[in-house]
Amino acid sequence: MPDRGGGPTGPRIRVGRPSRRVRTLLMTLGVLAVLGMAFTMFAGFWTDWLWYRSVHYSSVFTTTLWTKIGLFFVFGLLMALAVGFNIWLAHRLRPPLSAMSMEQQNLDRYRMGIAPYKKWLLFGITALVGLIAGASASGQWRTWLMWVNGVSFNQKDPQFHLDVSFYAFDLPWYRFLLGFGFAAAILSVIAAALTHYLYGGLRVTSPGARATAAATGHLSVLIGIFVALKAVAYWLDRYGLAVKSSDFKATDNWTGLRYVDANAYLPAKTILFCIAVICALLFFATIWRRTWQLPVIGFGLMVLSAILIGGLYPAIVQKFQVQPNEQAKEAPYVEKNLAATRQAYGIDGAKVDDYPGKSNTDDKTQLRDDVDATASIRILDPNIVSPTFQQLQQIRNYYAFPTNLDVDRYTKDGKDQDTVIGLREINLSGIPKNNWINDHFRYTHGYGVVAAEGTSADSEGRPEFTESDLPSKGDLGTYEQRVYYGEKTNMYSIVGGPQKEVDYSDDSGEKTYSYKGDSGVNLSNPVNRAAYAVAFSEPQILYSGAIGEGSRILYNRTPKDRVESVAPWLTIDGDAYPAVVDGRIQWIVDAYTTTNGYPYSSRTTLGDTTADSLTATNNQRAVVAQQNQVNYIRNSVKATVDAYTGEVKLYEWDTQDPVLKTWKKAFPGTVEPKSEISDELMAHLRYPQDLFKVQRELLTRYHVKDADTFLSGSEVWQVPDDPTNKAGESVPPYYLSMRMPDQKEQAFSLTTTFTPNGRDNLSAFMAVDAEAGTEGYGQIRLLKLPTSTTVSGPKQIQSQLNSEQDIAETIRLLRGGDSEVEYGNLLAVPLDGGLLYVEPVYVRGGDLKYPLLRKVLVSYGGATAFEDTLDEALNKVFGADGATETPPDQDTGTGEDDGGGTTPPPTAENPTVQDALDDAQKAFEAGQEALKKGDWEAYGRAQEDLQDALERAEKAQSQPDSTGGGEGAGGSES
**Tens digit of each residue's pLDDT (9 = 90 or more) over 373-431:** 899 999 999 999 999 999 999 888 899 999 999 999 998 877 888 999 999 999 988 88
Higher pLDDT, 921 or 655: 655
Alpha helix stretches (DSSP H) within 630-684: 658-666, 679-682
Residue 322 confidence (pLDDT)? 85
Confidence of residue 889 (pLDDT cuts 50, 70, 90): very low
Q: What is the mean pLDDT of residues 137-152?
A: 96
Contact 938, 950 (CB under 8 A): no
Does residue 959 have a pLDDT over 60?
Answer: no
Question: Percent of the chain having pLDDT more than 70?
Answer: 88
Q: What is the DSSP string of 788-832?
A: SS----HHHHHHHHHH-HHHHHHHHHHT-TT-EEEE---EEEEET
550 φ/ψ sector (left φ>0, alpha ψ -120 to 50, else beta) = left
pLDDT above 80 (res 950): no
> What distance in Å separates the CA atoms of residue 939 and residue 462, rounded to the nearest whole number?
13
Residue 444 contacts residue 426 (beta carbons within 8 Å): yes
Q: What pTM did the predictor assign?
A: 0.84
What was the pLDDT predicted at 886?
36
Whether the pLDDT of residue 666 is over 60: the answer is yes
Could you tell me the CA-to-CA distances from 790 to 203, 377, 441, 700, 802 in Å, in that order?
Answer: 80, 25, 62, 18, 20
pLDDT per residue as tens digits for the range 686-729: 999 999 999 999 999 999 988 888 888 888 999 999 888 776 78
3-state DSSP assignment of residue 525 = coil
State residue 813's pLDDT score. Answer: 83
Q: Among 609, 575, 623, 604, which Cα is nearest to 718's?
A: 609
pLDDT of residue 893 exceeding 50? no
264 Cβ neighbours under 8 A, 6+ residues apart: 313, 314, 317, 318
Compute CA 877 distance to the chain's CA centroid, rounded to the nearest angstrom: 40
Q: CB atoms < 10 A from the CB of 291, how many?
A: 13
The type of residue at 274 is C
Among 365, 356, 366, 211, smallest CA distance to 296 is for: 211
Percent of all residues in the chain with a pLDDT value above 90, rounded to a whole number = 51
User: 780-784 and 351-354: which strand pairing?
Assistant: parallel
Q: What angle do CA 929, 933, 935 make, to 5 degrees?
A: 95
Mean pLDDT of 287-315: 83
Report residue 943: phi and psi, to 5°. -65, -35
* Cβ atoms of 292 and 272 closer than 8 Å: no
Backbone torsions φ then ψ of 536, nearest 5 degrees: -100, 5
- At residue 95 the predicted structure's pLDDT band, cuts being 50, 70 and 90, is confident
Who contacts 342 (Cβ-Cβ below 8 Å, separation ≥6)?
A: 348, 350, 702
Dist CA 586 CA 570 (whole Å)? 20
Helices vs strands, H then E, count in the chain: 30, 35
Among 882, 852, 856, 880, smallest CA distance to 870 is for 856
| 408-424 as b/e: b if 16+ CB within 10 A | bbbeeeeebbbbbbbbb
Winning range, highest mean pLDDT, from 7-11, 107-111, 542-546: 542-546
Cα–Cα distance for residue pair 275/281, rounded to 1 Å:
10
Angle at 206 between CA 201 and CA 209, to 5 degrees: 60
Phi, psi of 770 (to 5 degrees): -105, 0
Per-residue pLDDT tens over the stretch 620-647: 788 888 778 899 999 999 999 999 999 9
- Residue 197's pLDDT band (boundaries 50, 70, 90)? confident
Judge whether 159 and 89 are in contact, CB under 8 Å.
no
Rg value, the chain, Cα: 37
**CA angle in degrees (0–180, nearest 5) for 110-112-116:** 115
Across-strand partners of 418?
409
Closest CA to 711 of 353, 342, 350, 338: 338
pLDDT band at 890 (very low <50, low <70, confident <90, very high): very low
Helix (H) or strand (E) holding 70: helix 58-92
Question: Residue 521 pairs with which residues in a beta bridge?
Answer: 553
Q: What is the DSSP string of 382-445?
A: TTT-HHHHHHHH--STTEE--SS-EEEEEEETTEEEEEEEEE-EE-GGGSSS--HHIIIIIS--
User: What pLDDT, on the 0 to 100 scale, is given for residue 182?
Assistant: 96
**Length of the chain measured in residues:** 974
Average pLDDT over residues 801-827: 83
From CA 389, how far away is CA 405, in angstroms rounded?
Answer: 9
